[in-house]
Chains A and B, each alone.
Chain A
């Protein structure tokens, strides 16, 4: 089954670092853009950015530029989202999602979603 599997829930303290993961399986990981989407408790979806695994071309949403870092490991088919210093306001569910077309062009909807990773940051 084609899927994205995300890492488990995290409980952290403000100021700590964190990296969460999203592993693709049963498709050619390197040729589909991966997006990250944040959902704060009780709120809507926010687009954080996208990364193209083949060359790590990355585009961040304006609210997230400089706040998080997206990366990939093509050898394992895994995308990562990391924070160097967490804040309480980073408490949220984070989803990774695949753009639906294998293309260098990023202008497609997201057809495959991970199950989400809950990040809880205490102050």
Chain B
């Protein structure tokens, strides 16, 4: 099973700041098979990024994904008030999909 480790656990930032979230995988993951999701309290997750760097429909361009091999990054260029949430990475290359444990982006 591929283990995904996200860091940091919590990111305390202010609106307008840049957020950089990390996701490391225990085995190399093809660039096609890594996604990022956003989840707000009481809501279902929302797909932000798939295939490492492709934005899902309707996702603003302040969200970007990058990385390769075992190191992947989600960047939010300028935080808007609605971006404070928990973010999860997920791999779907093996038949045993896994999520990272999440990074909470909170208001400083």
Chain A contacts to B: CB under 8 angstroms: 35, 37, 44-47, 50, 59, 61-62, 95, 97, 100, 106-111, 113-116
How many chain B residues touch A (Cβ–Cβ < 8 Å)?
A: 27
Q: In the assembled complex, which residues on chain A have CB atoms less than 8 Å from the CB atom of B95?
A: 59, 106
With contacts A45-B45, A109-B35, A109-B90 known, is A61 near B97, CB below 8 A? yes
Chain B contacts to A: CB under 8 angstroms: 1, 32-33, 35, 37, 39, 44-47, 50-51, 56-57, 86, 88, 90, 92-93, 95-102
Closest partner residue, chain A, to B1 (CB atom): A62
The answer to whether A109 touches B99 (Cβ under 8 A) is no
How far, in angstroms, from A115 to B45 measured CA to CA in the complex? 9
Q: In the assembled complex, which residues on chain B have CB atoms less than 8 Å from the CB atom of A62?
A: 1, 96
Q: In the assembled complex, which residues on chain B have CB atoms less than 8 Å from the CB atom of A108?
A: 50, 92
